[in-house]
Structure 1
Amino acid sequence: MEKVKLDLIIENQGVELTGRVLYNDNLIIDIALTLPELENNMKKLLFEFEGLPIENIEFVHIYEA
């Protein structure tokens, strides 16, 4: 399977980062303290809900104020 590039929209919520990804009309949202933690959480959720292999997910970071 080839890499799937997804937009990861990131917002700084003080100490935490909030991230969201839209895939197959499903909005997946999570919170983490660091960007690597947020990416790992999102990959796990995408695998759990959509069956995407974790090693095939690549994120494009989009930062919102």
Structure 2
Amino acid sequence: AGMTNKEVLHSATIAPAEFLNIQNEIGTIEEGKLADLVILNQNPLESIKNTQDIYLVIAKGIVQ
């Protein structure tokens, strides 16, 4: 037994922000927070391998 897909995504997003105590600045998509976005073609909750099927990346406000 390993981690669920939801747990994996949580450990890559919200958990580091909480560990560093900067969850008010990053970690979730909310107004006023900083965020780089990876837009996927498929749902990573269905298969974690779907994180490799990237449609678009936005980093520091620039579409990559």
Q: Which has the higher contact order (CA 8 A, sep 6+)?
A: 1
- The structure number with the bigger radius of gyration is 2
